[in-house]
């Protein structure tokens, strides 16, 4: 029994050391998994932000906004240039001249307005495509960075997991105890078996009654039995 108990104790020590090592490995694996889940969420959000700007309604609204912004920018620039190059007003101009001058200015302003609108309409799609390219590049960069981080974390985590080992001293102690128990069993099996005790007549431990001496009646019966043969 002592040998078996020693072997069981050694096996338990080794099993506990292995269990602790497995828990450390599992902790590393869980940390890597959580990090990868977070990076995957970043990639998904970057992709969603890009796709939100690519719906028909979003593209139409963005195009209208860019067209208005381009028209306003050009109108501001043209107005500033016209104000800078405005011809001097004559001191005494006739009403006909003033009316003709005003009509010409109105025609120029109208042509300028139409030109600005057309230029804004023509330039807005290009600017929208430029914005899309910038957004796509930013989203691609986020996705690539997240993918690289996931791969680096996986490789580093695998290295850490591979480096985890059970306590060597606990394993050594367990091996010694198991080996000692096996040695005790082997040495016990090689000993000669203990001799079986011979029953002793009259010994109460063997459950036997002491022998009874024959009485005179038994002796007579025995003698008559011999004569009658």
Residue 208 forms part of a structural domain:
no
pLDDT of residue 227: 44
Chain mean pLDDT for the chain: 77
Residue 214 forms part of a structural domain:
no
pLDDT of residue 229: 46
Q: Is 80 exposed, middle or buried (0-12, 13-18, 19+ CB in 10 A)?
A: exposed
Residue 199 has pLDDT above 50, yes or no: yes
Residue 209 forms part of a structural domain:
no
Residue 94 forms part of a structural domain:
no
Q: Which domain holds residue 161?
A: 2-86+101-190
**Of 110, 166, 138, 113, the residue nearest 53 (C-alpha):** 138
Residue that wins the pLDDT comparison between 116 and 195: 116
pLDDT of residue 212: 56
Residue 181 forms part of a structural domain:
yes
Distance CA 79, CA 71 (A): 12
Distance CA 89, CA 97 (A): 11
Residue 54 forms part of a structural domain:
yes
Residue 49 has pLDDT above 80, yes or no: yes
Residue 141 has pLDDT above 50, yes or no: yes
DSSP assignments along 41-69, one per residue: HHHHHHHHHHHHTTSHHHHHHHHHHHHHH
Residue 198 forms part of a structural domain:
no
Which parts of the chain are beta strand (E)?
none
pLDDT of residue 7: 80
Residue 220 has pLDDT above 80, yes or no: no
Distance CA 23, CA 42 (A): 29
pTM (2 decimals)? 0.52
Distance CA 58, CA 29 (A): 42
Residue 226 forms part of a structural domain:
no
CA atoms within 13 A on the CB side of 94: 3
Q: What Rg value do the Cα atoms of the chain yield, rounded?
A: 54
Domains in the chain: how many in total?
1
Residue 228 has pLDDT above 50, yes or no: no
Whole-angstrom CA distances from 72 to 42, 51, 77, 183, 220 are: 37, 28, 9, 97, 153
Average pLDDT over residues 155-182: 83
**Which of the residue ranges 11-15, 69-73, 148-152, 206-210 has the most confident prediction, judged by mean pLDDT?**
148-152
Distance CA 77, CA 83 (A): 10
């Amino acid at each position: 029994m002592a040998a078996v108990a020693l072997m069981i104790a050694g096996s338990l020590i080794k099993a506990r050391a292995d269990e602790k090592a497995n828990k450390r490995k599992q902790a590393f694996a869980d940390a890597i998994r959580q990090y990868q889940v977070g990076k995957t969420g970043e990639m998904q959000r970057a992709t969603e932000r890009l796709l939100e700007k690519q719906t028909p309604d979003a593209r139409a609204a963005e195009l209208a906004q860019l067209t208005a912004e381009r028209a306003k920018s050009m109108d501001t620039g043209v107005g500033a240039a016209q104000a800078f190059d405005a011809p001097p007003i004559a001191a005494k101009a006739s009403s006909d001249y003033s009316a003709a001058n005003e009509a010409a200015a109105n025609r120029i302003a109208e042509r300028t307005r139409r030109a600005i609108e057309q230029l804004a309409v023509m330039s807005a799609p290009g600017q929208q495509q430029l914005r899309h390219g910038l957004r796509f590049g930013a989203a691609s960069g986020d996705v690539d960075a997240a993918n690289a981080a996931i791969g680096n974390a996986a490789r580093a985590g695998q290295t850490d997991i591979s480096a985890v080992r059970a306590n060597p001293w606990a394993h050594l102690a367990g091996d010694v105890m198991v080996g000692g128990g096996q040695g005790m069993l082997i040495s016990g099996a090689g000993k000669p078996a203990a001799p079986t005790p011979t029953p002793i007549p009259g010994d109460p431990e063997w459950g036997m009654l002491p022998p009874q001496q024959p009485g005179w009646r038994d002796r007579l019966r025995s003698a008559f039995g011999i004569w009658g043969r």
